[in-house]
Structure 1
């Protein structure tokens, strides 16, 4: 069982924009002792100091900034916030996942990022949405085909909710991908596009079966959107997962 339970800070992007220090403090009070950042270039030194003061570690960070900023600046920021795992969560045209040539181009892009990152002691990962699961190649998802094209050091952060929305049987997918999966985005909701998410354990996703299929992957709570109080939702998510896995 991977520990500690983490949370993707994109979940609280509005709250962080209004009051970063107060939001992180409240997360620590709820019981989160680990986070995943979504823009490491936003005051990395100040963020690291605050996290240290609160006893919060950084499991990983999204690195969408690699598409708009110089790679060295991004990798310096990744190191400064306190992690060596940088994840690409988007920025690639959806159509690239519908053809083999597109998947090869995507793999070349990710492998190129990984080669640059390696010189800084950083690993590159990829985070899916639904559009990497919907296209099929002889009964294999585009994500599975892409994984075969990636350099061995490139890992996966599987968004379990979007994988299900994309048509995958998520436990089977995780077993197929095996140890390429270092992290899971654990989220819940109605299981369809365009509707708000819920606290983990309050939607239609079979969370226990999913987690059992990847016992060593880091669990990272995320809600892309929420119609209820977001702090109550992330607290309920933590309580559910803590009880489920005995953390």
Structure 2
């Protein structure tokens, strides 16, 4: 399967809030065609950012020759599945991704897997896929197993796929290429950013502690622009990641995703586009 480039729109969240349509136009001008979006629950209901309805978003994407190939949302017992499924159909998204989750022990993970399998059945019934996106906390060990291993063993293969974020794997002390091979055909999407050479304490567990209770508060502390850089400007072995993904052959998309940046957001994803495009041609 060929590896197509895309963009997770979280990378340009502030620009989208300021000028949703204008930012989409700039992204299309850079060359982005495949998008991963984010649906959030707000006091006014579900939001794709920018104040546009799913129907209006779809019209703009069609006009610009862009398409949604996945959509992140926060998944738990309060998820508004009916609205989220309807919005995904409206914008043309074929799959829903879990943006983040946190666990205190192995039982937490097992309960999450049980629920996630049910959600996978619900999505499948409604013609959608379901996938899980990792951060660093999934490489914490409970009773001798990483959270990711527990997920692999307990999430149903025919229902759940993974979107592998190599940056966060490294920040969790894991080897991203080894994990790509471990995930095998369970991995259908990749997230790619880069790690500055100046970053101290690459493994976040060296900071928070290997047995600490990782919550959203710890994740917020990682959101320092100095710890992120554009694809191809840092230390990650992106060439090796692309080679491994192509050898395995199951990942369809590699998304630029940069949580925060020291640059203008659109300028940053333009740099990442150029570098990732070159790497995809060279490898």
- Which of structures 1 and 2 has the larger relative contact order (alpha carbons within 8 angstroms, sep 6+)? 2
Same fold (TM over 0.5): yes
Cα distance between partner residues in 2 of 1:28 and 1:74: 25
Residue 156 of structure 1 deviates from its aligned partner by 0.2
- Show CA shifts across 1:13-56 (max 9, x none): 11111110000000000110111001184321111100000000
- Computed over aligned residues only, the root mean square deviation of the Cα atoms, in angstroms, reads 1.9
Q: Which residue, out of 67, 81, 92, partners 1:57? A: 67
5+ residue gaps, structure 1: none
2:106 aligned with 1:106, yes or no? Answer: no
- Counterparts of 1:96-175 in structure 2, within 5 Å, are 98-99=105-106, 101-135=107-141, 137-138=143-144, 140-152=145-157, 153-175=159-181
Q: Is the 8 A contact 1:135 1:141 kept in 2?
A: yes
The aligned runs of 1:172-187 (5 Å cut-off) are 172-187=178-193
Take 1:183 and 1:80, find their aligned partners in 2: how far apart are those partners?
A: 21
Structure 2 portions without partners, runs of 5+: 41-45, 48-52, 203-221
Counterpart of 1:214 in structure 2 is 245
Cα deviation for residue 141 of structure 1 reads 2.5
TM-score w.r.t. length of structure 1: 0.91
Change (3 A) 1:194 1:23: closer
Distance in structure 1 (CA, Å) of the matches to 2:115 and 2:193: 28
Q: Compute the TM-score of the two structures, normalised by the length of structure 2.
A: 0.80
1:175-234 deviations in Å (ceiling 9; x for gaps): 011000000111112364443211101111111111222124110000000011222211
Distance 1:145 1:69 in 2: 23
In the alignment, structure 1 residue 88 sits paired with structure 2 residue 94: no
> Residue 205 of structure 1: SS of its match in structure 2?
coil
Map of 1:19 onto structure 2: 19
Query: Separation in 2 of the partners of 1:65 and 1:146?
Result: 15
Render the CA deviation track for 1:108-141: whole Å, top value 9, x for unaligned. Answer: 1211111111111111110111000122654x53
Q: 1:223 maps to what in 2? A: 258
SS of the equivalent of 1:189 reads coil
Corresponding residue SS for 1:168 = coil
Q: 1:59 to 1:200 in 2, by over 3 A?
A: same
In structure 1, what is the equivalent of residue 4 of structure 2?
4
How many aligned residue pairs are there?
242
Q: How does 1:38-57 map to 2 (within 5 A)?
A: 38-39=38-39, 41-42=46-47, 43-57=53-67
CA distance in 2, matches of 1:75, 1:55: 23
